[in-house]
Amino acid sequence: MRPLIKLKKAFLGVCVASGAITYYYLTSPNKKVYASWTTNYEPSAYAKWNDNWDHRSPKYLINSKVYKNETESNRINEEIMSQKPKSVRHIILIRHGQYNVEGQTDAERTLTRLGKVQAEYTGKRLQELGFPYTSMVKSTMSRAQETGSIISTCLPQVPVNSCDLLVEGAPIPPEPPVGHWKQEMHKFFVDGARIEAAFRKYFHRASPKQQEDSYILLVCHANVIRYFVCRALQLPAEAWLRMSLNHASITWLSITPSGRVILRCLGDSGHMPPDFVTAK
């Protein structure tokens, strides 16, 4: 009988303790009981979205200090509304086709025969999509120039420009460090600022004056594209080397009027036959 008495006392102790805890949570003004973990979920500080990432959020463009009284302050909302974008900026990033990696200079690193075919497939795909492309901007490196020119044969009506900011480089030390990238610290110092400048130039929400959605084509390089994707999605930029992009692949990002960014596809090369798909 003695073990049974001890068991009853232990059970009674558990009941009393659980009852006390329940009473505390139900009666304490500073405590709430949630149905599940999702009810009380808070993202980490690093996961929160920065609405003013491009420094074009309407509410930050208005200087409320100029309004001296309550009547004038009512105009703030009107001013904010006037600064709100109305359209979406679609940015379509194209990696160049396969090229001669044995070339000693940029002029020698031209597209291979396969690389030219890959660019043709991508040009036809972009033509089939039928978007009203606003412009095409090409990196000034030979392989990107050549890829863009081949694509232009399918999109002859699209204006073409070149930009030195889009050339290939080392954007930021990757995490985890991989291979030869461990030794590229001097390149990160130089290339990183340039590639970041390219991001700030091309990635932002639409101007309030823009009435229609726009589609811009950027023909550039894998490292640049991967860095852009991380920055646009507000992911750690050091993660860029964790992605792989095929030659002449399509990466599509949309910047909505609210400033939110949507990754619609990453490194899509499904428009090519499997035998034509390469990455290195």
Strand 261-268: give its sheet, edge to edge: 160-163, 133-139, 214-220, 89-95, 250-255, 261-268
For residue 214, give the 3-state DSSP assignment. Answer: strand
Which uninterrupted H or E stretch holds 131?
none
Residue 170 near residue 241 (C-beta atoms within 8 A) = no
**Domain-embedded: residue 19:** no
Q: Token pair of 156, please?
A: 């002859």
Q: What is the pTM of this model?
A: 0.81
- Roughly what angle, to the nearest 10 degrees, separates helices 222-232 and 185-202? 60
**Domain-embedded: residue 73:** no
pLDDT in tens, the chain (280 residues): 555 555 555 555 656 555 655 555 555 555 555 555 566 677 777 788 999 999 988 877 666 555 555 556 566 666 666 778 899 999 999 999 999 999 999 999 999 999 999 999 999 999 999 999 999 999 999 999 999 999 999 999 999 999 999 999 999 999 998 877 666 677 888 999 999 999 999 999 999 999 999 999 999 999 999 999 999 999 999 999 999 999 999 999 999 999 999 999 999 999 999 999 999 8
CATH number of domain containing 133: 3.40.50.1240
**Domain-embedded: residue 59:** no
- Beta-carbon contacts of 214 under 8 Å, excluding residues fewer than 6 positions away, are 87, 88, 89, 90, 134, 206
- Beta strands per DSSP E along 32-176: 89-95, 133-139, 160-163
Q: Which domain holds residue 232?
A: 89-276
From CA 92, how far away is CA 263, in angstroms rounded? Answer: 10
Q: Is 267 left (phi over 0), alpha (psi -120 to 50) or beta?
A: left
pLDDT at 184: 66
**Domain-embedded: residue 94:** yes
**Domain-embedded: residue 125:** yes
**Domain-embedded: residue 206:** yes
**Domain-embedded: residue 153:** yes
pLDDT at 47: 82
How is the chain split among helix, strand and coil, in percent rounded to 5?
Answer: 45, 15, 40
Tell me how many domains the chain contains. 1
Which residue in 69, 43, 26, 86 sits closest to 209, CA to CA? 86
Residue 83 near residue 61 (C-beta atoms within 8 A) = yes
**Domain-embedded: residue 76:** no
